[in-house]
């Protein structure tokens, strides 16, 4: 049974009629470029073939009724324009925040009957929240034939997360979920939201390995890292660390705390690595990409301090198998979550075997391993870039 058919059956069981629309938004994995997005920098993500699927029908009133199949099989409802933070159903706040942002542009929005399903590992760092936000916005856009483009939708999703949920995330997660291209990664400039698609060679596989070290971005040190970056930008009287060069940073080293220097060093060098990764991708230069991803992980470990011993261990295990034929690094916000690997398809079985043997031996945990494919964003087909 297809995902669409499953959710249509669920919807009929909940509401006793067929849905008007079924919409999907993908999760993402970031190949390189972490903690650069909220510093107006560059990121290099790909939308992947897991995400959030929503079935919905129109209502004539302003009530939004939601059944979530994968968050404890729970139901809730709220009235448009009467938004209050839901402490019982935390997942519902992503819906409320997204719809609230949408209503700033479309104040006459009406309600909906909604069923939500998702197959993104929670807390893994694959951005289930952005997938959820983009699926909700795509659903209301489709239900009510709104003239909403993917970039604007991404900005609304970011606003929902920043202002309603309380996580100071950048724009990357929402934009790749909205605008990703099938079989491609994307170099995204988080300052002007321009992007360039990069084809993923058909001989390569994208592997995501969930360390199963759980993480919670809102409650973690993520927001602290952002504040530290802003402090350094303020020191240089700049809008963001995007505007600071490495030589400028080194020249001011004595005037910054050791921690702030390292935080900024990561962001500045990570931007350079991410732009270089596009060139490596285009030239199919795997040794260059391998080196860039290795340096990225080291920087996230030593300068930004967001890895864990388990993630470092996974990177070591994979590196031993792929050498410079592929790249491996932690991905996402950090403090647990996933490792991303890009490598020749003929090495996949060996890597999976060794992770399944060595990771439990070393850390007492079992990793979940996903062979991913780059997929289409929720809004991509409506636009020409």
Catalytic option among 34, 37, 40, 173:
173
Can you tell me the distance from the alpha carbon of 75 to that of 286, in angstroms, rounded to the nearest whole number? 47
Q: Is 173 a known active-site residue?
A: yes
Q: Is the dihedral of CA 353, 359, 364, 367 positive or negative?
A: negative
The CA distances from residue 50 to 46, 88, 119, 173, 264, in Å, are: 12, 26, 6, 14, 33
Among 34, 35, 33, CA closest to 228: 35
- Using the CB atoms, write b or e for 322-334: b if 16+ within 10 Å: beeebbbbbbbbb
Can you tell me the distance from the alpha carbon of 130 to that of 283, in angstroms, rounded to the nearest whole number? 31
Residues contacting 142, CB < 8 A, separation 6+: 21, 23
Can you tell me the distance from the alpha carbon of 78 to that of 66, in angstroms, rounded to the nearest whole number? 9
Cβ atoms of 315 and 328 within 8 Å: the answer is: yes
Catalytically active residues are 173
């Amino acid at each position: 049974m297809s995902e669409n058919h499953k959710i249509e059956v669920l919807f009929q069981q909940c509401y006793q009629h067929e849905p008007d629309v079924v919409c999907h938004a993908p999760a993402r994995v970031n190949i390189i470029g972490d903690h650069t997005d909220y510093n107006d920098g560059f990121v290099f993500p790909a939308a992947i073939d897991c995400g959030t699927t929503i079935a919905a029908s129109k209502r004539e009133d302003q009530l939004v009724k939601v059944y979530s199949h994968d968050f404890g099989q729970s139901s809730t409802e709220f009235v448009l324009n009467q938004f209050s933070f839901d402490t019982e159903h935390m997942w519902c706040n992503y819906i409320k925040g997204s719809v609230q942002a949408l209503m700033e542009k479309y104040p006459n929005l009406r309600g909906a009957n909604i069923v939500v399903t998702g197959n993104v590992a929670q807390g893994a760092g694959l951005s289930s929240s952005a997938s959820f936000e983009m699926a909700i916005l795509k659903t209301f856009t489709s239900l009510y034939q709104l003239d909403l483009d993917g970039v604007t939708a991404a900005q609304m999703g970011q606003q929902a997360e920043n202002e309603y949920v309380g996580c100071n995330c950048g724009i990357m997660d929402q934009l790749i979920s909205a605008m990703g291209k099938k079989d491609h990664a994307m170099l995204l400039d988080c300052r002007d939201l321009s992007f360039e698609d990069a084809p993923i060679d058909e001989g390569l596989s994208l592997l995501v390995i969930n360390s199963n070290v759980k993480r919670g971005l809102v409650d973690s040190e993520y927001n602290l890292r952002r504040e530290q970056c802003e402090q350094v930008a303020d020191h240089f009287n700049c809008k963001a660390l995007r505007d600071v060069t490495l030589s400028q940073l080194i020249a001011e080293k004595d005037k910054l705390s050791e921690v702030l220097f390292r935080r900024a060093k990561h962001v500045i060098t990570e931007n350079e690595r991410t732009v270089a990764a596009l060139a490596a991708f285009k030239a199919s230069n795997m040794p260059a990409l391998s080196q860039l991803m290795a340096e990225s992980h080291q920087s996230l470990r030593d300068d930004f301090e967001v890895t864990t011993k388990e993630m470092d261990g996974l990177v070591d295990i994979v590196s031993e198998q792929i050498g410079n034929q592929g790249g491996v690094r932690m991905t996402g916000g950090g403090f647990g979550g996933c490792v991303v690997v890009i490598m020749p398809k003929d090495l996949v079985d060996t890597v999976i075997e060794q992770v399944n043997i060595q990771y439990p031996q070393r850390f007492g945990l079992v990793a979940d391993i996903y062979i991913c494919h780059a997929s289409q964003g929720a809004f991509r087909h409506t636009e020409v870039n």
